[in-house]
Chain A
């Protein structure tokens, strides 16, 4: 090797993170998708804020009328917050199927990439023949997923926060800090889905199963909560849905962190994550 090429080699900065190479890998490979999702989230929440601040709720449902109970599922409330209110409308922007779809895209995509996709494609052979423990593999991949998910929730929260700050009517209806608590609850909901999805990824060797599981947890969870609110005989079902514990409408109306709900969501995520670590320790890493 020539002296010059050796010098060049030493000087060449590596684009790969040496401290967290697997976090870098997960985020670098999906950077365009993540950028698109962030942009989509900002545009969507901007629309929600603009619509909310320009349309008086009274014109939507008429004065002194309350919407059916099932509508609470769309406003992110278990209590008295109607969708025909400013907090209810803003809450709708954080429980809307579009918001859920964006979150599930991140969780499904990065959850599948955590283990299953590498096993299916065979790239795990290159990674796991390095001095890398299975725990570190999953920890870094979890870190990447949580970071992407938090970023998405932060984009939604900041957009709404700016909208609320800019509109006197919204500022008057939403307590200070309510928007950020709603963002925190959004992160907790995402984590409650992330844990079980990672467990599926650690167990299976097909990325399609992981994406399917993410969609099932999200869609079935939302549907259960909706049915439970709409049909009283099915009311007990709401407790098994993560959306029962995710109530941005209530938070935006009253402020304060609902610690019990927050705890349930975080505990579900933690149990899923624990299962993922245990399942990964025991499995074969090649087909």
Chain B
């Protein structure tokens, strides 16, 4: 259960690379025990944000605090409590999987009580660990990345696109591991552009676009606010036609079928009006997916506006 104590605080976090702005005045707070998602397409600034969080990048402006510490200035005090999985995981190809884990454990300077258990659960066998990492597939490397990020039982786990390259079975194991982390009161911040992953794992989500925060909402809120998909099949067999006021819901025509995304509080009125005006043969109303909610928010946000 998340507590109100902030574990991660980003205040007006800005990172510039020369004239290019990577992230611009980002404000996010993540409470202890929360699984928080950073959502956005490639290039939105998710990885830059996470790199500032783990002290790899120095913010150009603003403030970052993790467990009350500055990730750059207090790096050595903070790092034992943080587990990090980079988005583009790069490993030393000459080292075996076991040597890689041993090296990272030696640098961690702390016991790694979960190493064997995590390898077993993510199906990294002894034979796999004895092979050079250069021979690993993308999925195998990602499994090794997950083991190294969790093997020392960190208080805060930062994962950049964690399910990239994992097969569905291993993804299931990953979701179980994440649930266990949360149950143990640990805080997880993950970035993703895979919406179902976020929907399944996160309590709250920050949506970023072009380095700026679009919104921070709970997944439940996003679900509730998202549009309903209204599908009509018209009896007269004719195709696209003007729909009057309903045109604002971006109708998509496919022969006599039309699909509209209608805000939840307008669904009843919209259905009534269309039944009155059109020769409706069939009608279905269903919840749109998180994808639509996300795209809707994306379409309606102007990156030039401050959230």
Contacts and interface: CB of A to CB of B under 8 A. Distances in A.
Interface in B71-116: 75-77, 79-80, 82, 84, 86, 88-92, 94-95, 99, 102-104, 106-109, 115-116
A65 interface: no
Contacts of A131: 75-77, 79-80, 107-109
B56 interface: yes
Contacts of A284: 56-58
Interface stretch (A1-9, A67-75, A145-153): A1-9
Contact of B103 (A6, A21, A133, A285): A21
Contacts of A128: 55-56
A80 interface: no
B135 interface: no
B76 A133 contact: yes
Interface residues of A, number: 31
Contacts of A123: 90-92
B148 interface: yes
A167 interface: no
A126 B79 contact: no
B79 A129 contact: yes
B56 A15 contact: no
Contact of B107 (A5, A29, A132): A132
B51 interface: yes
Nearest to B108: A130
A122 B88 CA distance: 8
B13 interface: no
Prevailing SS type, chain A contact patch: loop
B82 A16 contact: no
B82 to A, nearest CB: 7
B54 interface: yes
Interface string A121-145: 1111111111111000000000000
Nearest to B88: A122
A131 B115 CA distance: 18
B104 A14 contact: no
Nearest to A128: B56
B90 A16 contact: no
B106 A17 contact: yes
A127 B108 CA distance: 9
Given A122-B88, A125-B84, A286-B56, A130 B102 contact: no
Contact of B106 (A9, A21, A129): A21
A14 B104 CA distance: 12
A18 interface: yes
A104 B68 CA distance: 46
A223 B104 CA distance: 44
Most buried by A among B56, B57, B104, B107: B107
B180 interface: no
A34 to B, nearest CB: 13
Given A22-B107, A125-B90, A132-B79, 13 more contacts: A14-B106, A15-B102, A29-B92, A123-B92, A125-B51, A127-B107, A128-B55, A129-B54, A129-B55, A129-B56, A131-B79, A131-B109, A284-B57
| Interchain residue pairs A-B with the least CB separation, the first 10 | A122-B90, A131-B79, A130-B107, A21-B106, A16-B102, A129-B84, A125-B86, A286-B56, A14-B102, A285-B56
Interface of A: 1, 5-6, 9, 14-18, 21-22, 24-25, 28-29, 121-133, 284-286
17 contacts: A9-B116, A14-B102, A16-B103, A18-B106, A28-B95, A29-B95, A123-B91, A123-B92, A126-B104, A127-B107, A129-B55, A130-B107, A130-B109, A133-B75, A284-B56, A285-B57, A286-B51
Interface of B: 51, 54-58, 75-77, 79-80, 82, 84, 86, 88-92, 94-95, 99, 102-104, 106-109, 115-117, 120, 148
